[in-house]
Amino acid sequence: MDSAMIAKISKAREYAEQPERISFKSFEVEFHGKHQAYKVGYDSGVWHCECDFFEQRGVCSHTMAMERVLGVMLGAQEPVAAAV
Ligand SMILES: [Zn+2]
């Protein structure tokens, strides 16, 4: 392996330990809950989930779990789950 690639791998390891460098803007995932799977979406700080609870309350166990998993990578927005 050449030295340039070794340097990039080293930098990647360093970056991977600093998730605050990463800000998700939008994505969609399939979330496998206990009983079924739901599509969970995120776009510029706004969550969406297709489960019934989210439809009623605007937040659900799936979006709160995603906030816990992604943490600082969701940008400056304060995670709802952090207040609980
Ligand atoms: Zn949900």
The per-residue pLDDT string of the chain (84 residues; one tens digit each, 9 = 90 and over) reads: 899 999 999 999 999 999 999 999 999 999 999 999 999 999 999 999 999 999 999 999 999 999 999 999 997 555 455 555
| Contact partners, residue 76, CB within 8 Å, separation at least 6 | none
18 CA distance to ligand 1 middle (Å): 28
What separation in Å is there between the alpha carbon of 13 and the centre of ligand 1?
A: 33
- Using the mean position of ligand 1's atoms as its centre, give its distance from the Cα of residue 33 in Å: 9
Length of the chain: 84
**Ligand 1 centroid to 75 CA: how many Å?**
21
Beta bridge partners, 47, equal 42
Tell me, what's the pLDDT at 76?
A: 59
pTM of the model: 0.80
